[in-house]
Amino acid sequence: MFEFLGYEFMRNAFMAGALTSIICGTIGVYVVLKRIVFISGGIAHFSFGGIGFGYLINFNPMVTTLIFSLGAAVSIGLSKKKVNMQEDTTIGILWAIGMALGIVFVGLSKGYAIDLFSYLFGSILAVSRQDLYMMVTLCALIMITVTIFYKELLLVTFDEEYGNVLGAPTNGIYIMLLCLVALSIVVMIKVVGVILVIALLTIPASTSRLFSNNLKKMILFSILVGLVFTSGGLLISYYANLASGATIVIFSGVMFFITMMVKSVLDKRKRNRALNAMIQKQ
């Protein structure tokens, strides 16, 4: 049954899935609650330019992607206050330009590249040991930052305006949050790719929201849910011989809808029972 663990690439894939779950679980909760799903999409797509640039200058694309995604995060964060433009317009422009740059850079680079497809839709089975080291580092960085600035992130996510009243550096905290999103995206691109990143940021967090009434619980649940989704999806893709990233996403989506329906049925039952109890009392 567990013969797939005999392959190093499968062991690496599960490790990568686990790291991704920890990160998505944590950052995804903020993305969902702060409603920056679209912004995260913008950062992810802009970072595609970084992948192309890495190929062009023949440098580790994970590093150039990191630079591009952080650049996008900071400029979106700054444009909120400084530039007199709708935030979603800025994001739309970055989104498109990033993709275009990626394609042009790759076209300009010499020789045959490349598994562009794997960056768009992920290649969890191709995660190398070196990739894992980088993922662990980024993961640690993200978790430490979220722990230290828990109070600040809560303040900005829940009520940014009142944060200003309290004299908190809300703009800086917001940009920090976007940078955390950027870091997570870099980690996730290897696993599910630019296009499917949004799924992993939103689905585990929204599933976990159904069962948690405070932020810490929501993050914890969301990590657990992510673990189940990524490993489940990975197993299915292994046995059914399907594209792994896409399978993870579809599996997560299906599980989310099932959970939501079960939950709403349970809630209805609970309400009815309470109502009946009240009627019987009278």
Tell which residue, 106, 102, 82, has the closest CA to residue 94.
102
Q: Which is nearer to another protein, 7 or 150 (CB)?
A: 150
Q: Which is nearer to another protein, 111 or 167 (CB)?
A: 167
Q: Tokens representing 232?
A: 């489940």
Q: Which is nearer to another protein, 8 or 159 (CB)?
A: 159
Q: Phi and psi for 214 in degrees, rounded to 5? A: -145, 165
Q: Tokens representing 58?
A: 């023949």
Q: Phi and psi for 241 in degrees, rounded to 5? A: 55, 55
Q: Which is nearer to another protein, 23 or 176 (CB)?
A: 176
DSSP 60: -
Question: CB under 8 Å to 162, separation ≥6 — which residues?
Answer: 155
Neighbours of 95 (CB within 10 A): 21
In the chain, the amino acid numbered 175 is I
Tell which residue, 39, 84, 47, has the closest CA to residue 66.
47
Q: Which residues of the chain form contacts with another protein (CB under 8 A)?
A: 33, 35, 148-149, 151-152, 154-155, 157-159, 161-169, 209, 212-215, 217-218
Q: Which is nearer to another protein, 151 or 269 (CB)?
A: 151
**Alpha-carbon 196 to chain mean position:** 9
